[in-house]
Amino acid sequence: MPAPRWSQKITNALIPAAVLALWEVLGSAGFLPRYLSTPTAILTALWELAVTGELFAALAESLYRVAAGFVLGAASGILVGLAAGMMPRVRHFFDPLVSFLYSVPKIAFLPVFLLLFGLGHASKIAIIAFSGFFPVFIASRHAVLSVNRLLIWAAQNMGAPRSTIFFRVLIPAAAPQLFAGIRIGLAHAFVVLFAAELIGSKAGLGTIISYGEEWVRFDLMFAGIVCFAVLGFAADRILLAIRSRVLKGQIIGTEEQVAR
C-alpha cells in the first residue's frame, strides 16, 4: 500500500486526537466530572512525579516484580511445555491439571499467595509467575506437537543426535508458537501485576493510582494509569522486536514482513 501515506496517517490519528482535544476543552471548561481530569493536568502530574523521583521509584518496583515474575513463569512454562510436548507421560500428568486451572483466574489465588509469601515482592512475583505459566505452557505443548514429523524423521535419518534434533529442528520449528504463548503470558503478567498491587499491597505504580484516588488527586491517578499502560505497551513492543530478530528467517516473505 504505497498510496498516499500521509493522508492515511492523518486518518489514523483523527480519532485519538479528537478525543484528546475534546477531553481537554470540555475538561478545562468544567463540563466533565472532576474525576476525568484533563490531559494537560495529567502531563503536569507526570512531570511533578518525575521531578520528585517518586515516579522512577514506583516504576522500578513494578518493573522488578513483573520482570522477575514473568521470566520465572515463562521459563518454567517453556520447559514444562516442551517436556509435555515431547513426552506423553509428562503430558498426561499436566493436561488435566492445566485444562482445569486454565479457566480459573489465577488472581483468585492471590489471598493464598499473600499468606504464603507475605506482602512484599515475593507474593507478587509468585502470582505473576503462576499466571504467566499457563499460556506459555499450552503454547509450547501445542508447538511441539504440531511440529512437522517429517522434519524430525529427516534429521533422524541423517543421523543427527537427539540434542541436535532438539536445538536445531524442534526449537526453531516451534519458535513462532512459543512466542505467541509468551506474548499472551506477558499480557497476563501485567493484568495480574495491576490487580496484585491494587489488592495486595501498596507499592509500585499501584500506589500512585490508589494514592490519587484516596487524596482526590485524579491527575495523579491518571498519571499512574498512563505509566502503567505505557509500560505494558513498551514491554509488548520489546517482545515483538526480539521475536522478529529471532525469527528473522521465518517471517521473510510472509504477510507480517509486508505489514511492517
Give every CB contact of residue 216 below 8 A, 6+ residues apart in sequence: 34
Q: x/- string (CB under 8 A) for another protein, residues 123-162?
A: ----------------------------------------
| Contact pick of 136, 165, 220, 221 for another protein (by CB under 8 A) | 221
DSSP, residue by residue, 65-92: HHHHHHHHHHHHHHHHHHHHHH-HHHHH
| Contact pick of 21, 22, 79, 105 for another protein (by CB under 8 A) | 105
With 0-12 / 13-18 / 19 or more C-beta atoms within 10 angstroms meaning exposed / middle / buried, residue 247 is: middle
Do the Cβ atoms of 193 and 68 come closer than 8 Å?
no
Window contacting another protein (CB under 8 A); options: 6-14, 22-30, 147-155, 161-169: 6-14
Residues in contact with another protein, counted by CB under 8 A, come to a total of 51
Cell of 121: 515482592
Q: Is 182 in the site for another protein (CB under 8 A)?
A: no
What's the count of helices (H) and strands (E) in the chain, helices before strands? 13, 0
Window contacting another protein (CB under 8 A); options: 79-87, 96-104, 117-125, 164-172: 96-104
Complex with another protein: residue 109 or 166, whichever CB lies closer? 109
Cα 7 to the center of its chain, rounded Å: 32
Do the Cβ atoms of 250 and 176 come closer than 8 Å?
yes
| Contact pick of 107, 127, 139, 165 for another protein (by CB under 8 A) | 107
Residues making contact with another protein (CB under 8 A): 8, 11-16, 33, 35-36, 92-97, 99-105, 107-112, 115-116, 187, 190-191, 194-195, 198-199, 209, 213, 221-222, 224-225, 228-229, 232-233, 235-237
